[in-house]
Structure 1
Amino acid sequence: MLHYRGAHLLRPGLVGIVVMVCVILIGLQSQKFMAWGTTVRYQALFGEAAGLAVGDDVIVSGVRVGTVQKVVLHNGDALVVFSVNSTIRLGADSSAHIKTSSLLGKRDLTVVSAGTGRMRSLDTIPASRTSSPYSLTDAVGDLSTKTSAIDIDSLNRSLDMLSSTLNQIAPQVGPAFDGLTQLSKTINSRNESLRQLLTGAGTVTSVLAQRSEQVNTLILNANALVDVLAQRRQEIVDLLANTSAVAKQLSGLVADNEAALGPTLDRLNSIAAMLEKNRDNIGKAIPGYAKVALTQGEAVSGGRFYNAYVANLIDGQDIQPFIDRAFGVNPPAQFPLPHPEPPR
């Protein structure tokens, strides 16, 4: 038998009411709750919204992957919050672009994934990587504004001036067009030659492309050669500068010591003249020395003894008695020998 429990039913009743309300809300907003669990939200800053509205499609690689959730003003820019399927990976350098998807002006948000990293939830794409289209309505409005600002009288005067100018140059326009016609015919007649020329240019380009590595090496070597030549040129410039400085120092030294160097140079000149004179005397003495050397050679070539005759070393009359005594000559000669009397 059931008994009434009173206040004990209050708590289960409140829990049941809350559960029923949650079930009703989930049933009414099932798509939104599912989107929260299966999508990731990102943000993008645009210079202008360009007609983009909540609910517009988000396109990645031509496929619809999400929707625009919110478009608000943020520090003078349009902040767009959009959701993307959680299975879609967006790179850290992704960009966003508002584009027109229909002739009626419907917009969509196209996201281009880029970068090696990955965007996290609620990361913002900066304005430097976003772009907005130019609205046709804005273009027509700008055209109307610019057109209304035109001075009609000035425009009429300009057109009249243009018309009169064309009338004045009309005689020259015909020959000009005739010349253009002749030029066109000439180019048309040289069509085959031009084709061959372009073919040859293509061949040259392909050869250069094949030899690009060698050309690059040649250019690098030329750069190295130019650097070496520049260094050598600088060294030569420095050498010339130093030579000029030395020349100036020597000029100053000569100017300062001119009085002392003059007599020294005179003495050097006299010494050089004396040496030159002695050189001539030595040159004359060499032939006579050759005869003496020949005689001495004959004297020593006979064996271990040396025979030499020195004329007029000692007077013969004084040395003859000693020679007779040494060799046992009898009778010995008188000492000194009588000198012969000179003939009369």
Structure 2
Amino acid sequence: MMLKYRGAALIRAGFIGVSVAILVTLVGLAPQTLWSWATQVRYQAVFPEAGGLVAGNDVVVSGIKVGTVSSVALLRGDALVTFTVDGSVHLGSQTTAHIKTGTVLGARIVTLVPAGAGTQKPSDPIPVSRTSSPYVLTDVIGDLTANASGLDTATLNQSLETLSDTVDSMAPQLGPTLAGLTRLCQSMNSRNDTLRDLLHSASDLAGVLSERREQVNALILNGADLITVLAQRRQAIAELLANTSSVSRQLSALVHDNEAKLAPTLTKLNSVTEVLQKNSDNIAKALPGLAKYEITMGEAVSSGFYYQAYTANVVPAAFLQPFFDYAFGFRRGTDAGQPPDNAGPRAEFPFPYNGIPPQPQEGPR
């Protein structure tokens, strides 16, 4: 067994044993420190001034401690702050850093605000454009003292006196104004439910508009297109009116130049217009009579599958009666159609109402 750990093997075994012992000691004494060394990422940020920040201050994201400040150094007139952050915290490419007051006693902390779609590289410090430093109370008091010492107290007193006089002169009007504001507040308080319903309805309206924003956008775009088309049409109408005015002036000049030649033509045209107007009046007067005739004719035709029509004064009835008498055996005279003369006359032309005498075999009507 002793031969196994002699020479180079003994040195190697001793080195391994010492390393394991040191590692076990470190793990037992400071496990959190070893874990932070293994998991934390080191970042840097450039601030206009340190503002009382020192190594060991906390690094916070959304109110939760995620790391500590390692060191604060001077870099070309600015403060270069080095800090570590847990590896599980994602910092975007536009992350900002701010030095703020963390406790009542004035302890400083570094607040990180993750932003950006990419990832903040540990090798790239956060620039001054994305960092901010707090006010130092002593500096603020010093600035206040310097500004206050430069005030003109006489002018300030005069301004305060003017303000007091103005308030005194406004007192009679200020009282009713405040009373009116009080009544307005009371009215609004009494209508709290109505205002709540109004705000709820406004919220619903905003929701509907949000759901239909695409239609609203399309409507607005279509309205813009419509306005463009209307503007083009307006320009076209303006050009048409200008051209019409020019044509009117040219026609006026033409008529003035040819007035002697156009006068007889216009006179004849007026005569023709008068004749047409007279015929139009006659037609207008004839239309009511035509309507009555059409109504009467419609009633006559619609009474059955036949109708009777008589056109007066086409052929005198006296000329046709002899032809009907001899052609159809119609005869006229005293006792015509009585027995033994059964043939005739059946009727006269034009046929009178109930003018067909009954036959002996038909009996009385």
TM-score normalised by the chain length of structure 2: 0.54
SS at match of 1:67: strand
1:240 to partner: Cα distance: 3.7
Paired with 2:169 and 2:217, the residues of 1 have a C-alpha distance of: 55
1:88 to partner: Cα distance: 2.7
SS at match of 2:189: helix
* Uncovered stretches (5+) of structure 1, i.e. residues with no partner: 1-7, 280-293, 303-344
Q: Does 1:41 align with 2:42?
A: yes
1:109 to partner: Cα distance: 0.8
- The residue aligned with 1:96 is 97
Q: Structure 1 residues 249, 140: CA separation in 2 closer, same or farther (over 3 Å shift)?
A: same
Paired with 1:127 and 1:99, the residues of 2 have a C-alpha distance of: 16
- The residue aligned with 2:187 is 193
- The residue aligned with 1:321 is none
Paired with 1:44 and 1:164, the residues of 2 have a C-alpha distance of: 51
1:133 to partner: Cα distance: 1.2
Q: Structure 1 residues 271, 64: CA separation in 2 closer, same or farther (over 3 Å shift)?
A: closer
Q: Structure 1 residues 210, 159: CA separation in 2 closer, same or farther (over 3 Å shift)?
A: closer
1:272 to partner: Cα distance: 4.1
Paired with 2:63 and 2:275, the residues of 1 have a C-alpha distance of: 113
1:32 to partner: Cα distance: 7.6
- The residue aligned with 1:203 is 197
- The residue aligned with 2:265 is 268
1:189 to partner: Cα distance: 6.4
- The residue aligned with 2:66 is 65
Q: Structure 1 residues 228, 198: CA separation in 2 closer, same or farther (over 3 Å shift)?
A: farther
1:158-204 per-residue CA deviation (whole Å, 9 max, x = no partner) reads: 3664576588x49x72981x765665566556765331234322322
SS at match of 2:199: helix
1:121 to partner: Cα distance: 2.7
- The residue aligned with 1:307 is none
Paired letter, 2:125: T
Taking only aligned residues, the RMSD between alpha carbons, in angstroms, comes to 4.8
Q: Kindly, what percent of the aligned residue pairs are identical? A: 29
SS at match of 1:199: helix
Q: Structure 1 residues 248, 113: CA separation in 2 closer, same or farther (over 3 Å shift)?
A: same
Q: 1:245 aligns with which of 227, 243, 246?
A: 243
Paired with 2:275 and 2:188, the residues of 1 have a C-alpha distance of: 90
1:115-166 per-residue CA deviation (whole Å, 9 max, x = no partner) reads: 4443343343333432221111211221233344x26xx42x3366457658
Paired letter, 2:114: S
1:4-30 per-residue CA deviation (whole Å, 9 max, x = no partner) reads: xxxx99xx79x97xx99xx79x97xx8
- The residue aligned with 2:88 is 87
Rg comparison, structure with higher value: 1
- The residue aligned with 1:235 is 233
- The residue aligned with 2:155 is 158
Paired with 1:87 and 1:166, the residues of 2 have a C-alpha distance of: 60
Paired with 1:188 and 1:54, the residues of 2 have a C-alpha distance of: 56
SS at match of 2:88: coil
1:39 to partner: Cα distance: 1.5
- The residue aligned with 2:326 is none
Paired with 2:249 and 2:204, the residues of 1 have a C-alpha distance of: 62
1:52 to partner: Cα distance: 1.6
SS at match of 2:143: helix
Q: Structure 1 residues 244, 74: CA separation in 2 closer, same or farther (over 3 Å shift)?
A: same
Q: Structure 1 residues 75, 238: CA separation in 2 closer, same or farther (over 3 Å shift)?
A: farther
- The residue aligned with 1:323 is none
* Uncovered stretches (5+) of structure 2, i.e. residues with no partner: 1-6, 277-310, 321-365
Q: What does residue range 266-305 of structure 1 map to in structure 2 within 5 Å?
A: 266-269=263-266, 271-272=268-269
SS at match of 1:211: helix
1:233 to partner: Cα distance: 6.2
* Between 98-107 and 190-199, the greater mean CA deviation after superposition: 190-199
1:97 to partner: Cα distance: 1.3
* Between 87-96 and 181-190, the greater mean CA deviation after superposition: 181-190
Paired with 2:133 and 2:85, the residues of 1 have a C-alpha distance of: 20
1:209-261 per-residue CA deviation (whole Å, 9 max, x = no partner) reads: 223366687977985568646744652453143122222134135426743x3
SS at match of 1:238: helix
Q: What does residue range 16-55 of structure 1 map to in structure 2 within 5 Å?
A: 35-55=36-56
Paired with 2:273 and 2:135, the residues of 1 have a C-alpha distance of: 106
Q: Structure 1 residues 53, 228: CA separation in 2 closer, same or farther (over 3 Å shift)?
A: same
Q: Structure 1 residues 202, 222: CA separation in 2 closer, same or farther (over 3 Å shift)?
A: farther
1:28-73 per-residue CA deviation (whole Å, 9 max, x = no partner) reads: xx89876543310112232322122223221223333222223334
- The residue aligned with 1:212 is 206
- The residue aligned with 1:282 is none
Q: Does 1:136 align with 2:133?
A: no
Paired with 1:273 and 1:38, the residues of 2 have a C-alpha distance of: 109
Paired with 2:92 and 2:270, the residues of 1 have a C-alpha distance of: 99
SS at match of 1:241: helix
Q: Structure 1 residues 129, 166: CA separation in 2 closer, same or farther (over 3 Å shift)?
A: closer
- The residue aligned with 1:322 is none
SS at match of 1:134: coil
- The residue aligned with 1:173 is 168
SS at match of 2:191: helix
